[in-house]
Structure 1
Amino acid sequence: MEKSYKILLFDLDGTLSDPKIGITKSVQFALARMGIKEENLDHLEPFIGPPLQQSFSDFYKFNDTQTQTAITYYRERFSDVGMYENTLYEHIPELLEELRESGFKLVVATSKPTVFAEQILKYFNIHHHFDRIVGSNLDGTRTAKTEIIQYILHQYSNPPKEDFIMIGDRKHDIIGAHNTGIDSIGVTYGYGSLDEITTAAPTFIAESVLELQKYLLINASIKV
C-alpha cells in the first residue's frame, strides 16, 4: 500500500549518529563516582537509547535519589566531552538533505535532553535540516518516547496521523509510535537487535541508511 508521509520523526542516538563512546564513557564515569567499576564499555551499550532514569534503575537498581545523583555525574562528563565523542552514520547528511529538498518536514524525537540534542546537531552541521528538535527536559520530565511523540503531534495543526512516521533503532521508538497511533520504521544498523525490533512490530524494517532512503523516497511518495 502506498504511503504519503509528510512529517518524519527521527531518533538521534543509534539512528542519525553512533554515540557509543560518549555515552558509555559518561555512564562509566558516573558509575565510578557511585562506587561501581565497569571496565567493559560494551556492557554499557544498553544505555544507548532509553532514558537514563530508566536505565540506571533497571540495570543497577538505583533508587530515585541514586538515579538523580548518577545522572548529574553523567551530565558532568557528557556536557564537557561526551556529546562530541560521536559520529554520524554514513549517508545520513545526504539522506537528510534529499528528504528536506523533497518536501518532507524533518523532526528529531529523542529521549536525550533537548539542549544536548541541539548542540550535537549543530556540531554535525545538520541542525538546519530539521523543522523541530524535541527531546526531554533537564528536570527529568518528558523522557518517554510516547510523551515526546505526543508533544510533537500537538505542535502541528491537526494533520492526520497518517502524515507522520517515527524512525528509530530501539523498541522504545516503535512502542512510542504504536501508543500515539503513527507508523514506524525500525532500523537495525543501530543498537537495537533484529529480535528487539521485530518483536516491537514496526511498519517497516530498514537494515541500512540506504534502505531507509529508498523506502521513504520511493515507496512512501510524498504529496505536497
Structure 2
Amino acid sequence: MAEYKIILFDLDGTLSDPKEGITKSVQFALAKMDIVESSLDRLETFIGPPLHVSFAEYYGFDEKESKRAIDFYRERFKEKGMYENVLYPNISLLLASLKESGFVLVVATSKPTVFAEQIIKYFEFEEYFQLIVGSNLDGTRSSKTEIIQYILDIYTDFKRTDFVMLGDRKHDIIGAKNTGIDSIGVTYGYGSLGEIRDARPTYMVTSVGQLKDLLLGSRV
C-alpha cells in the first residue's frame, strides 16, 4: 500500500451517521413544496450527493424549485438537523491514532463548509483536522472533484500520490479519480456495496477497524 501523507475524509456516511437530521430536513423541505414523503428510509439517497443534484434526480425539480427546496431544508437543518447526527463507532480513536502517526487530516464534503465546521465543532474534532472544505452556500464548488481540487491547490508542496480520499459514495471515488489521487471506499455508510465496487476505488473496507488497519499498516 502507498504511504499517504494527507487523508481526505468525507463527512456524512464516513465520519458520522447523519440519517435522522438529513432525511427529516429533506422531508420538511418536500412538505413545504407540497410533497408528502412519509418514509425516511426512501430519503437516504440524499445522504452524500449535493442537494440540488438529489432534488433534481429524485423529484424532478428544476433549478428554481431546487433552490426553494434547499432553502427550506436549511431552515430546519440549521436549527436541529445538523445535531441529529451520531459518530460511527471508533471514529474518535481512528482520528487520534492517525494524527498521532503524523497524517494530515482534512474534511472534504459536499455539505456547505459553514455547516461542516459546526458539525466538526459539535463532535469536538477541531484538534484532528487541519482543514475543512465543503461547498459554498450559493451552490458553487459542490462536486467532489471541485472540492478535492481545491484542497490539492492548497497543499501544493505535496505530490498526488501523497493524498487519499475516503468516502461511502461513488461521488467520492469519482472525484478522487478525476483529480488523480487514490481512494478508499467504505461500505459501512450509505453507498451500496455495488455502488462502491462499480466506482472501482483503490481500496475498499467494510468497517472503521479495517480502515484503521489499512491506513496505519502503511506506517508499520
Normalising by structure 2, report the TM-score: 0.99
Q: Secondary structure at the match of 2:166?
A: strand
Task: Tell me which residue corresponds to 2:124.
Answer: 125
| 1:29 counterpart letter in structure 2 | F
Moved more, 46-55 or 155-164: 155-164
Task: Tell me which residue corresponds to 1:165.
Answer: 164
Task: Give the Cα–Cα distance (whole angstroms) in 1 for the partners of residues 94 and 158 of structure 2.
Answer: 24
1:165, 1:182 within 8 Å by CA — same for their partners in 2?
yes
1:102-141 to structure 2, matched below 5 A, reads 102-141=101-140
Moved more, 77-86 or 150-159: 150-159
Task: Give the Cα–Cα distance (whole angstroms) in 2 for the partners of residues 53 and 147 of structure 1.
Answer: 16
1:5, 1:163 within 8 Å by CA — same for their partners in 2?
yes
Cα deviation, residue 158, structure 1:
3.4
Task: Tell me which residue corresponds to 1:95.
Answer: 94
2:9, 2:105 within 8 Å by CA — same for their partners in 1?
yes
The alignment status of 1:47 with 2:49, answered yes or no, reads no
| 1:12 counterpart letter in structure 2 | L
1:169, 1:190 within 8 Å by CA — same for their partners in 2?
yes
| 1:221 counterpart letter in structure 2 | R
The alignment status of 1:151 with 2:145, answered yes or no, reads no
Cα deviation, residue 221, structure 1:
2.5
1:3, 1:221 within 8 Å by CA — same for their partners in 2?
no
Q: Secondary structure at the match of 2:61?
A: coil
The alignment status of 1:213 with 2:212, answered yes or no, reads yes
Task: Give the Cα–Cα distance (whole angstroms) in 2 for the partners of residues 117 and 190 of structure 1.
Answer: 17
Deviations 1:5-47 (CA, angstroms, capped at 9, x unpaired): 0000000000000000000000000000000000000000000
Cα deviation, residue 114, structure 1:
0.3
Cα deviation, residue 196, structure 1:
0.2
Task: Give the Cα–Cα distance (whole angstroms) in 1 for the partners of residues 127 and 75 of structure 2.
Answer: 27
Task: Tell me which residue corresponds to 1:13.
Answer: 12
| 1:157 counterpart letter in structure 2 | T
Task: Give the Cα–Cα distance (whole angstroms) in 1 for the partners of residues 170 and 157 of structure 2.
Answer: 26
| 2:78 counterpart letter in structure 1 | S
Task: Give the Cα–Cα distance (whole angstroms) in 2 for the partners of residues 158 and 98 of structure 1.
Answer: 24
Task: Tell me which residue corresponds to 1:195.
Answer: 194
Cα deviation, residue 159, structure 1:
1.1
1:5, 1:221 within 8 Å by CA — same for their partners in 2?
no
Task: Give the Cα–Cα distance (whole angstroms) in 2 for the partners of residues 60 and 136 of structure 1.
Answer: 22
Task: Give the Cα–Cα distance (whole angstroms) in 2 for the partners of residues 57 and 157 of structure 1.
Answer: 35
Normalising by structure 1, report the TM-score: 0.97
Cα deviation, residue 69, structure 1:
0.2
Task: Tell me which residue corresponds to 1:85.
Answer: 84
Task: Give the Cα–Cα distance (whole angstroms) in 1 for the partners of residues 187 and 44 of structure 2.
Answer: 15
Q: Where do 5+ consecutive residues of structure 1 fail to align?
A: none
Q: Secondary structure at the match of 2:30?
A: helix
Task: Give the Cα–Cα distance (whole angstroms) in 2 for the partners of residues 55 and 195 of structure 1.
Answer: 19
Cα deviation, residue 160, structure 1:
0.8
